Amino acid sequence: MDTPPESIELYCRAADEYKASDLILHVGEPPIVRVSGSVTPMEAPPLSLPDMMAFRAYCDVPKEATDHDASFVSAGGIRFRVNFHRQLGAEAAVLRRITGTPPDIDALGVPSGILKKMAGRRSGIIIVSGPTGSGKSTTLAALLEWVNKNMERHIITIEDPIEFVFHRDRSLFTQRAVGLDTPSFAEGLRRSLRQAPDIILVGEIRDALTASVALQAAETGHLVLTTLHASDVGEVLERLMAFFPAGEREGHLHVLSGQLLCVLCQKLLPGCDGGMVLACEYMTNEGFATEAIREGDISTLRDLLSTADEKESRDFLRSLHLLVSAGILSEEVALSAATHPAELRRKLRGIETGNFATRQNL
């Protein structure tokens, strides 16, 4: 099919006008948009099955596929990451809008100073974690764009699908899409070691093979940036440990303790001003943290986070506390996002929502 259905183009234009992060399509129902975290039906005709099937064909989705990731660029130049799937036996899709240009990393609310420092290393692993839609890819794209403007590097990205298209400034980019340019993350990562990279972005660690090759790449003098679905720093270590059989775990943890540079965990939460606010937990691999990683001691790692110097590490509890105290996040939202709400409530008791913290120093 040469062009997508007119209805899909209409929905995409409307989603852009709504400034929606997601466009949700179910056959037989009006489209739904996600705006500032909330889902709202659009005033538009229901999506027909012929239009959905035509959209699948336009995106080269195999006819037999029940779950498939693809990318789509509308006639208006709006880029989307698309997941085609089925629900209750009916065809469905979710389109995640992708900003064309990576944002300024200093404007995201992440610990940009730490990330920039680590991006200057010649080898090691940087992991960004969080649930789907928490901005992991955006953070890594912003970091790579900062590298592009400040360093001479050859950067290889392996993604499923490609989200941000980079244009050469001081760095050279080689961007590869899983399924189109390489069969898998692990194979693309393995082959990239022969393509003279300085930095390798692996869209996601999904299995033991990808994790193992990522460690190998860091050991052999490459900087690896990647994402993982995990809710906090402790769970990142748990997920990585779970990838490997018990007999191999000790060796992999030893390598990880030497190669891991930092972990950043993200949560996007509805703010008091109606926008979305980023809460972060982060840890740099230094001192006692290295030993805890080597031993796979998750309890000690979490204890270290709660008492660490905030210039190097910070847990979600302190981040949420600062955001509420600054009047950026409501106490209700913060408590709903906290791992231990009672502990956060105690920390907030007697503290006025004031101005001792600002967006800039969060």
CATH 3.30.450.90 assigned to domain 6-98? The reply is: yes
**Homologous superfamily assigned to 105-314:** P-loop containing nucleotide triphosphate hydrolases (3.40.50.300)
Supply the DSSP symbol for 304: H
- Is the model's pLDDT at 145 over the cut of 90? yes
Using only the alpha carbons of the chain, give its radius of gyration: 21
Q: How far apart are CA 222 and CA 169, in angstroms?
A: 21
Spell out the domain ranges in the chain: 6-98, 105-314, 315-362
Structure tokens at 301: 């790692």
Q: How far apart are CA 349 and CA 345, in angstroms?
A: 6
pLDDT at residue 358 in the model: 35
| β-pair type (154-159, 124-129) | unpaired
pLDDT at residue 352 in the model: 41
pTM of the predicted model as reported, rounded to 2 decimal places: 0.83
- Count other C-beta atoms under 10 Å from residue 336's C-beta: 11
Q: Of 17, 21, 26, 88, which is closest to residue 55 (Cα–Cα)? A: 26
Structure tokens at 155: 């950067």
Read off the pLDDT of residues 24-50 as tens digits, 9 standing for 90 and up: 999 999 999 998 778 999 989 999 999
| β-pair type (260-270, 38-41) | unpaired
Read off the pLDDT of residues 190-243 as tens digits, 9 standing for 90 and up: 999 999 999 999 999 999 999 999 999 999 999 999 999 999 999 999 999 999
Q: What percent of the chain has pLDDT over 90?
A: 77
Q: Please, what is the end-to-end C-alpha distance for the chain in angstroms? A: 48
Write the single-letter amino acid at 280.
C
- Bridge partners for 85 per DSSP: 92
